[in-house]
Amino acid sequence: MDPKDSKRSAPCSRVDVHNPHLDTLKDDILYHFSLGTKTHDLPAMFGDVKFVCCGGSPWRMKAFTEYIAAELAMEDPKSEYPNICAGTDRYAMYKVGPVLSVSHGMGIPSIAIMLHELIKLLHHAGCTNVTIIRIGTSGGIGLEPGSVVVTKQSVDATFLPKFEQVILGKTVVRNTDLDETLAEELLECSNELSQFHTVVGNTMCTLDFYEGQARLDGAFCSYTEKDKQDYLNKAREAGVYNIEMESSAFAAMCKLSGLRAAVVCVTLLDRLKGDQLSSSHDVLHNYQQRPQILVGYYIKKQLNPKAKCC
Amino acid sequence: MDPKDSKRSAPCSRVDVHNPHLDTLKDDILYHFSLGTKTHDLPAMFGDVKFVCCGGSPWRMKAFTEYIAAELAMEDPKSEYPNICAGTDRYAMYKVGPVLSVSHGMGIPSIAIMLHELIKLLHHAGCTNVTIIRIGTSGGIGLEPGSVVVTKQSVDATFLPKFEQVILGKTVVRNTDLDETLAEELLECSNELSQFHTVVGNTMCTLDFYEGQARLDGAFCSYTEKDKQDYLNKAREAGVYNIEMESSAFAAMCKLSGLRAAVVCVTLLDRLKGDQLSSSHDVLHNYQQRPQILVGYYIKKQLNPKAKCC
């Protein structure tokens, strides 16, 4: 592509860190990735990254890498995709061409550690115009299991679109908006694919999987089936289509760093009808592939010769 | 041991669940362990468990299993200790005799999912008189790196000993006391071992590793070195010796279920002197072994013929 065209169509957007102290570090150790600016040539390793996909499970992120490599016809049949973070078991990371795939574990604290280090990694590597998509699983509210939800806003347990970050013991409220255009583009991709039902809606992000999501099957439960139904119905009335455990921190941190971000989660069950994940392994496995099929299709479409890129 | 003696010396204490709905489940699927009451004979697999050790890293919990097997002279040189949760990559679990070793990932939400399912597992298995110890890593405040902290109380980012659990959108405050006698016994063990410095003190539990712990090296930082020092010094004045990310939920949930619980964390650095984990791999590895050495010694002492058991 002619650089002038590139400049006209999509001005280069770098990944922002907001931390003057970083400039004073001789070496920035990304401890939970087992990478660092002194030990690794981050621009050479990651400078071409345009898409980052993340999800809770390391196995799923490896499978995504194999899937996207085949989709982009970049697979190397001789090569096992190496785990770039092989020096640690905190996160797993794989790369194929411009697509980076990273696991983030379960819950806001776990994804927040990953994102702090990922944002620094992309910044140190000089990456530009990066799109980041979380592909995950969730509980649906009033949706057929297997439906995919692209998040409009991430809301908290009181259905408000905010993320509370505690800094020096004080609570700072951050915005959880995601990229509206990207959400629309993903919905359009799902329509073109026509393989499964996809909606754009709000996602409730909780700090707990059992009591925090009104489940009746945790070790502790002090409420009734009716209390649960009332709560989930109120959530549904507030526009919540699904519940998971990472989207609010993800939305807030990506927005702060100027990353174009989306959350694409499949619903493994309808929480109005039950709590336990009792579908067969094969059915759950099929559902879990849907976000990766959708995001794979989106990336492939973006990387075709007509797509705008920097 | 004569059962009468056993009854006299230590009345059997079962693991409590507080959830009337569990009785109505035909099958209880412990989804994140890939185990269930219908698919697995939990009493046969786990009925003899007396000690549970948990920590963030699956590698470390496997290493702990190998270590404790050698300490208890129960190692089987022909056997690789199989991961009991091999059907999932969410957690790893190993067992040697009466000692169960489980990983819990990073952060409160991740350990909470593990504990809900672990408490149900121990309950379904009919386990009695179980002691559970989290062995982890942490940042110290005013301690020589490599010091071990046995937690007295887990406190939040405002130094208060409480854990806030959101249930149906409302905040419920839970107590974060740990077992005082167990903490004293662990300190005594450390004195007997004389291999490293151990203190009993408060542990601050945060939802974030960077901004949440006043680090200057995250992707975002809006405060100065002086702000950081002031905050950490206030924490120290409130009795905080170290900072980690799981102890409050761990303390609250273990207390609710009647588990005798302790938190034993090594400090990898002194946060008053820096933020980055820049010690060599060998030094950090040595530090990380200290909680397992201490807890291994404690378990061995408990299991000797004179120890009281149920």
DSSP letters, A94-145, are: EEETTEEEEE--SSHHHHHHHHHHHHHHHHHTT-BS-EEEEEEEEEESSS-T
Answer yes or no: is A134 a known binding residue.
Answer: yes
pLDDT digits (tens, 9 = 90+) for A51-95: 999 999 999 999 999 999 999 998 776 778 999 999 999 999 999
Which SS3 state, helix, strand or coil, does residue A11 take? coil
Residues in Cβ contact with B261 at an 8 Å cutoff, skipping those fewer than 6 apart: B131, B132, B133, B134, B178, B179, B182, B250, B251, B254, B255
pLDDT band of residue B10 (cuts 50, 70, 90) is low
The answer as to whether A4 is a domain residue is no
Residue B115, number of CB atoms within 10 A of its CB: 29
B37-41, B114-118, B133-137, B280-284: least confidently modelled range? B280-284
Please tell me which residue, A76 or A18, carries the higher pLDDT value.
A18
Answer yes or no: is B68 a known binding residue.
Answer: no
Predicted pLDDT at A6 = 43
Of the candidates B59, B105, B207, which has its C-beta nearest A105's C-beta?
A: B105
B57 pLDDT more than 80: yes
Are A168 and B57 a contacting pair at CB < 8 A?
Answer: no
Domain that holds residue B44: 14-302
Contacts of B18 in chain A (CB under 8 A): 219-222
**Mean pLDDT estimate for chain A:** 94
The answer as to whether B78 is a domain residue is yes
Answer yes or no: is A271 a known binding residue.
Answer: no
Does an H or E element contain B72, and which?
none
B5 pLDDT more than 90: no
pLDDT digits (tens, 9 = 90+) for A182-226: 999 999 999 999 999 999 999 999 999 999 999 999 999 999 999
User: Looking at CA atoms only, how far is residue A19 from chain B in angstroms?
Assistant: 5
Q: To which residue do tokens 């100065």 refer?
A: B224
Predicted pLDDT at A244 = 98
CA distances to A92, B59, B86 from A61, rounded to whole Å, are: 8, 19, 17
pLDDT band of residue B12 (cuts 50, 70, 90) is confident
Q: Is B264 left (phi over 0), alpha (psi -120 to 50) or beta?
A: beta
Are A166 and B212 a contacting pair at CB < 8 A?
Answer: yes
Are B113 and A106 a contacting pair at CB < 8 A?
Answer: yes
Answer yes or no: is A90 a known binding residue.
Answer: yes
Which SS3 state, helix, strand or coil, does residue B189 take? helix
Closest-CA residue of B relative to A86 is B59
Q: Which of A206, A198, A229, A209 is nearest to A277 (CA)?
A: A209
Are B208 and A20 a contacting pair at CB < 8 A?
Answer: no
User: pLDDT > 90: what percent of chain A?
Assistant: 90
Q: Which of B111, B113, B116, B89 is nearest to B244 (CA)?
A: B111
Q: To which residue do tokens 């973006």 refer?
A: A302
Contacts of A277 in chain B (CB under 8 A): 29, 31
Contacts of B211 in chain A (CB under 8 A): 165-167
To test the contact with chain A by mutation, choose from B106, B209, B284 the residue with the greatest count of A C-beta atoms within 10 A, namely B106
B159 pLDDT more than 80: yes
Are B166 and A159 a contacting pair at CB < 8 A?
Answer: no
Residue B237, number of CB atoms within 10 A of its CB: 10
The answer as to whether B1 is a domain residue is no
Q: Which of A79, A83, A81 is nearest to A91 (CA)?
A: A83
Predicted pLDDT at B306 = 59
Number of helices (H), then strands (E), in chain A: 8, 12
Question: Which is it for strands A93-96 and A99-103: parallel, antiparallel or unpaired?
Answer: antiparallel
Predicted pLDDT at B302 = 96
Contacts of B217 in chain A (CB under 8 A): 19, 21-22, 25, 28
Of the candidates A20, A22, A168, which has its C-beta nearest B227's C-beta?
A: A168
User: pLDDT > 90: what percent of chain B?
Assistant: 90
To test the contact with chain A by mutation, choose from B21, B104, B118, B205 the residue with the greatest count of A C-beta atoms within 10 A, namely B21
**What CATH number is associated with residue A120?**
3.40.50.1580
Contacts of B120 in chain A (CB under 8 A): 218-219
Question: Which is it for strands B148-155 and B198-205: parallel, antiparallel or unpaired?
Answer: parallel
User: Looking at CA atoms only, how far is residue B107 from chain A in angstroms?
Assistant: 5
The number of domains in chain B is 1
pLDDT band of residue B173 (cuts 50, 70, 90) is very high
Distance CA A21, CA B217 (A): 7
Are A166 and B206 a contacting pair at CB < 8 A?
Answer: yes
Predicted pLDDT at A10 = 59
The answer as to whether A165 is a domain residue is yes
Are B89 and A57 a contacting pair at CB < 8 A?
Answer: yes
Q: Where are the alpha helices (DSSP H) in chain B?
A: 3-9, 42-46, 58-71, 108-124, 180-193, 225-237, 247-256, 281-302
User: Looking at CA atoms only, how far is residue B198 from chain A in angstroms?
Assistant: 25
Are B22 and A217 a contacting pair at CB < 8 A?
Answer: yes
**Mean pLDDT estimate for chain B:** 94
- Model pTM score: 0.95
Distance CA A131, CA A167 (A): 27
Distance CA A72, CA A101 (A): 14
Mean of pLDDT values over B71-76: 86
pLDDT digits (tens, 9 = 90+) for A217-250: 999 999 999 999 999 999 999 999 999 999 999 9
Predicted pLDDT at A113 = 98
The answer as to whether A190 is a domain residue is yes
User: Looking at CA atoms only, how far is residue A277 from chain B in angstroms?
Assistant: 7
Of the candidates B19, B57, B222, which has its C-beta nearest A218's C-beta?
A: B19
B8 pLDDT more than 60: no
Closest-CA residue of B relative to A16 is B219
Q: Which of A105, A251, A293 is nearest to A165 (CA)?
A: A251
Predicted pLDDT at B75 = 79
Residues in Cβ contact with A10 at an 8 Å cutoff, skipping those fewer than 6 apart: A129, A308, A309, A310
Distance CA B190, CA B89 (A): 34
Of the candidates B107, B120, B214, which has its C-beta nearest A168's C-beta?
A: B214
The residues facing A174 across adjacent strands are A163
Q: To which residue do tokens 């035909």 refer?
A: B26
Which SS3 state, helix, strand or coil, does residue A78 take? coil
Q: Which of A240, A238, A246 is nearest to A149 (CA)?
A: A240
Answer yes or no: is A158 a known binding residue.
Answer: no
Answer yes or no: is B213 a known binding residue.
Answer: yes
Closest-CA residue of B relative to A56 is B90
pLDDT digits (tens, 9 = 90+) for A137-161: 999 999 999 999 999 999 999 999 9
pLDDT digits (tens, 9 = 90+) for A258-308: 999 999 999 999 999 999 988 888 999 999 999 999 999 999 999 984 544
Answer yes or no: is B142 a known binding residue.
Answer: no
Q: Which of B115, B138, B119, B136 is nearest to B127 (CA)?
A: B119
Closest-CA residue of A relative to B159 is A169
Are A110 and B113 a contacting pair at CB < 8 A?
Answer: no
